[in-house]
A and B are shown apart, each in its own frame.
Chain A
Amino acid sequence: MEETKEMLDHLGIAGVEELFKDIPDKIRSELKLEEGLTEMEVMNRVKDILKENRSLSEFSNFMGGGIYRHYVPTAVNEVVSRSEFYSSYTPYQPEISQGMLQALFEYQSLICELTGMEAANTSMYDYPTALAEAILMSDRINRRKKHRFLVPENIHWEIEPVLKNYLRGTDIILEWVKYDKTTGQIDKEDLKRKAGDDMLGFFVSSPNVFGVLEEDTKFYSDIKDETGSVMVAGCDPLSLTLLQPPSEWGADIVVGDSQPFGIPPSFGGPTVGIFACKGRYIRRMPGRMIGETVDKDDERAYCMLLQTREQHIRRDRATSNICTNQSLMALASAVHMFVKGGKGLEKIAKKNYDNAHRLASLIEDIDGYSSPSFDSEFFNEFLIGNQKMIDLKEFKERCKNNDILPGIPLGSWTESKFKELPPSLLIAVTEMNDAEDMEVLVNTLQEVKE
């Protein structure tokens, strides 16, 4: 090519290979990949492969467990498809990046409105890593001799292995608090027994992995006050349009995942880890945060806030190693919230609540099922149980034949998840589920008990 030749000439070399002469022969290698394809071929090939998937739209779907199928307004996709946003990067140069900066500041503001916290960052990778970072942060807030952090057993099964890795190199010890077998909420006696003023903090999630809401929230703020420890609360952001915000029951840090707003299930990723805290802890925060300030003419402007906490400045003494995060997903969430508006979100939340409660009572009417399993209030996800279920493998087969994704099996018929419970299903219901879906599920559940 002419252009290449001119450039090589400018460098005074005959070929591009000369620019690689500093790579010793001994370590030379070549790629063993296929030949490249044209765009048309790529599109055809990848779409063909994707056809081997069956998308959720082909099923009556009740899957939750951390990823929920909500309706994503079309405007969300339009906005996040603006390539001024998605083809930019971390706004290191604020003057030319005000758009993304302000958009992320608005996301932070929305998260604060929902959670009642004063400060939020622009995202963690997801819920489990947000919780892990919150535990590490509690150690920065609350330097104690003993490094116990209490975590209830009613959290998502994928969280524990993540926490173990994030705590690997620390002297923080996780201590597990039982859950109440009747309510599914935290076993208050057990928490009281284990809590003490020698602990860093504790975690309470509402809803928890069973979809159960903690009903005696004052109990937790009392524990916090008595022990002077850090309370980390887990949330579902949609439920917070109806549910008391964690700030009102003493949370210092709130974590969660904003996936229900604007983010399709996407096989589990990318989502956006929510991380918010009280204003006074802002200097202990992990991750990128956007702040409001002014420019040299005193006009309002936005920039990254307290970068001296971060790895690119503070290196091994940074509050976290996170650099690239999930910003575009945070943008999607914010757009979703604004497009639906406060009243619109509240309406969707009520619909979720109503649908879930309607389905729970339909299932309760089937002989043998306890629905919900736990005697507690819930939002849009709940557990059902039945001692006499058919074999799990056969159950799955039947569901497949009925084109139904009935929820996530937990309890004694699984290999590892909450084996102390009877054969159970974790069922999530959203505004996307109609009466027909529910009928399919109810009919299937009638078939699959012994």
Chain B
Amino acid sequence: MNPEFRQALYETHLLIEEHAKDREIEDNPLPESIARKEAPRIPDVPEHEVVRHYLRLSQMNYGVDTGFYPLGSCTMKYNPKYSEALCRERDALDLHPYQPEDTVQGTLRIMYELQEMLAEIGGMDSVSLQPAAGAQGEFTGLAIVHGYYKNNNEERDEVVLPDTSHGTNPASAAMLGYKTIEIPSKEGCVDLKALREAVGENTAAFMLTNPNTLGLFEEDVLEIADIVHGSGALLYYDGANLNAIMGKTDPGKMNFDIMHFNLHKTFSTPHGGGGPGSGPVGVVEDLKSYLPVPLVKKEGDKFILDYSLENSIGRVKGFYGNWMVLLRAYAYILERGREGLTQVSERAVLNSNYLRKKLEGTLELPYKPLRKHEFVLSGQKLKKEGLRTMDLAKRLLDYGYHAPTIYFPLIVDEALMVEPTETERKETLDEFAAIIEKIMNENPETVKNAPHNTAVGRVDETRAAKKPIASYKMREGDEK
């Protein structure tokens, strides 16, 4: 327990505002008509000052390596350091995407083997590593759905999803021009009746994650699949929650047709302060020919980039995916292996249920107790004291924890979504539970005014939105 937590606070002016000067460019080799006259205001600061600036900023930031980060849906597990070391190898990072295939056989081998490993883990036939993140995986999967029905001359213009779905699901569907139909859940799970009524000849796909975002396993998944397939639609699996089920079941077994993986979640690549991630897409055999190109193929003992897929949707990004992220995931899967990955899911689910049990007396737990890798509490109780889940989240920061995800999923009032992950030990969970209980009994004013121990106090996000300042330039007011 760490009530003494104090985050560093430095005076951190922007390097630009401190040092930038207006400057004319001299001896510009470009022709007068297109030459820049005024240099961009990038300051000339001694290197050590730049390094100090960033070192200080780093100390004003909180990562998994700082402490417990139970941000639900994001799988903030500890990321092994061997992966970081491998990514600093020259033979990994000093490679051009267009150098001849026979000079990148190592990389192509790793990508090929990763395709195979992910296909095995997902119960899919084939996998493309191209998508840059989960949301792009969804986009890719739905583009495949789009291509598939176009080829079959079927006009299906709706995507159905449960009201517990992650925001990227409807957003991805909308980007592909689909109308989205959200069906209300029943007891936190898919309501089969509502599903039956929602799907039909216009349905292109039903999107689901299992366990769902409440951490509940959709036990009716096979029936769901039958209903969806019965309407002629395809079934999409959002792989964000795969960390709960490895070695126990897989999307293929559950009769999903298309899925994405979140390598930055399940396969332990760091989240990078927001990215990069990687969102490979897997499909069943019938859809293989629609995958983006190229795939990595093995020919004899050589690995090649294969562009020959008959119905391929083409590309969703440049080159072949976020290779440096793929490499980390590959190393992680090798290290964990069959049993290790199964244990990952077992421990993730054990940690989640243990913490859930510890907290369900303190805060309300809607729906049935047995959860998978995460659970969602309601902060309704806080309202009595004039508090909200937001306040609890902010107060948690004071004790040196990152807050859980809040206000998602939308169907839980004052939601607090907790995902401890498998890499935390019991003491951490005990301490965290004790702190939540302590906060519930604290003076409401203290909680309302939290955080107190972080670099800055509660940030005024509304003001930020009223007169947006998205750059140093905009602060100076020279908006055009």
Contacts and interface: CB of A to CB of B under 8 A. Distances in A.
Interface in B54-85: 54-66, 69, 71, 74, 76, 78-80, 82, 84-85
A95 B394 contact: yes
A16 interface: yes
A102 interface: yes
8 tightest A-B CB contacts, nearest first: A169-B177, A268-B319, A36-B337, A99-B61, A328-B272, A87-B63, A268-B97, A327-B274
B175 A321 contact: yes
A43 B335 CA distance: 9
Contact of B473 (A104, A112, A162, A321): A112
A346 to B, nearest CB: 7
B63 A84 contact: yes
B219 interface: yes
A343 B271 CA distance: 33
B297 interface: no
B98 A292 contact: no
B367 to A, nearest CB: 12
Contacts of A165: 139-140, 143, 313-316
A8 B346 CA distance: 12
A97 B60 CA distance: 6
Interface stretch (A57-65, A143-151, A223-231, A365-373): A57-65
Given A4-B350, A77-B88, A268-B320, 8 more contacts: A7-B351, A16-B346, A16-B349, A89-B271, A109-B472, A162-B318, A166-B175, A316-B171
A99 B357 contact: no
Interface stretch (A173-181, A186-194, A332-340, A434-442): A332-340
A428 to B, nearest CB: 10
B1 interface: no
A199 interface: no
Nearest to B172: A321
B194 interface: no
B288 interface: no
A85 B133 contact: no
Nearest to A249: B34
B93 A114 contact: no
B317 A299 contact: no
Contacts of B173: 316
19 contacts: A6-B426, A19-B350, A29-B248, A50-B89, A67-B98, A77-B88, A95-B456, A112-B471, A118-B471, A125-B317, A158-B319, A296-B457, A299-B456, A303-B461, A311-B167, A317-B174, A325-B275, A346-B39, A405-B99
Nearest to B173: A316
A217 B32 CA distance: 12
A450 interface: no
Given A75-B47, A265-B95, A96 B350 contact: no
Interface string A419-441: 00000000000000000000000
A37 B334 contact: yes
Nearest to B51: A75
Interface string B355-389: 00110000000000010100000000000000000
B273 A42 contact: no
Interface string B87-114: 0111111111111101111110110000
Contacts of A105: 14, 470-471
Contacts of A217: 33-34
Interface in B419-449: 425-426, 449
A52 B350 contact: no
Contact of A87 (B100, B270, B351): B270
A128 B110 contact: no
A145 to B, nearest CB: 18
Contacts of B60: 98-99, 102
Contact of B370 (A7, A22, A24, A69): A22
Contacts of A121: 470
Contact of B132 (A38, A103, A126, A338): A126
Given A46-B330, A338-B50, A20 B341 contact: no
A128 B318 contact: yes
A52 B262 CA distance: 27
A50 B402 CA distance: 36
Given A27-B221, A325-B274, A341-B44, A34 B323 contact: no
Interface stretch (B117-125, B195-203, B227-235): B117-125
B96 A56 contact: yes
User: Which of A87, A213, A341 has the most CB atoms of chain B within a 10 A radius of its CB?
Assistant: A87
B222 interface: yes
A53 B95 contact: yes
A240 B40 contact: yes
A377 interface: yes
Interface in B299-323: 313-323
A33 B117 contact: yes
A266 interface: yes
Given A295-B456, A342-B39, A270 B132 contact: yes
Interface string B326-345: 01001101111111111000
Contacts of B146: 168-169
B322 A241 contact: no
A60 to B, nearest CB: 12
A337 B214 CA distance: 43
B347 to A, nearest CB: 8
B164 interface: no
B16 A106 contact: yes
Contacts of A289: 470
Interface string B165-191: 011101111111110100000000000
Given A29-B253, A323-B168, A338-B50, A158 B318 contact: yes
Interface in B220-260: 221-222, 245-250, 252-254
Contacts of B468: 119, 279, 282-283, 291, 305-306
A30 B33 CA distance: 66
Contacts of B80: 39
Nearest to B429: A7
Nearest to B49: A338
B16 to A, nearest CB: 5
A357 B29 CA distance: 10
Interface string B134-146: 1110111001001
A324 B264 contact: yes
Interface string A235-246: 000001111110
Interface in A42-84: 42-43, 45-47, 49-57, 59, 61, 63, 65-67, 69, 73, 75, 77-79, 81-84
A105 B27 CA distance: 31
B298 interface: no
A67 B94 CA distance: 11
A355 B65 CA distance: 44
A317 B361 CA distance: 38
A264 interface: yes
User: Which of A4, A245, A293 has the most CB atoms of chain B within a 10 A radius of its CB?
Assistant: A293
A255 to B, nearest CB: 12
A163 to B, nearest CB: 9
A279 B479 contact: yes
Given A89-B273, A323-B133, A24 B219 contact: yes
Given A84-B61, A318-B171, A337-B42, A93 B275 contact: no
Contacts of B471: 105, 108-109, 111-112, 118-120
A89 B451 contact: no
Contacts of B90: 55, 57
B460 interface: yes
Contact of A46 (B95, B167, B219, B331): B331
Given A67-B319, A97-B62, A350-B29, A213 B133 contact: no
B464 A113 contact: no
A169 B175 contact: yes
A315 B170 contact: yes
Nearest to A265: B96
A279 to B, nearest CB: 4
B25 interface: yes
A320 B472 contact: no
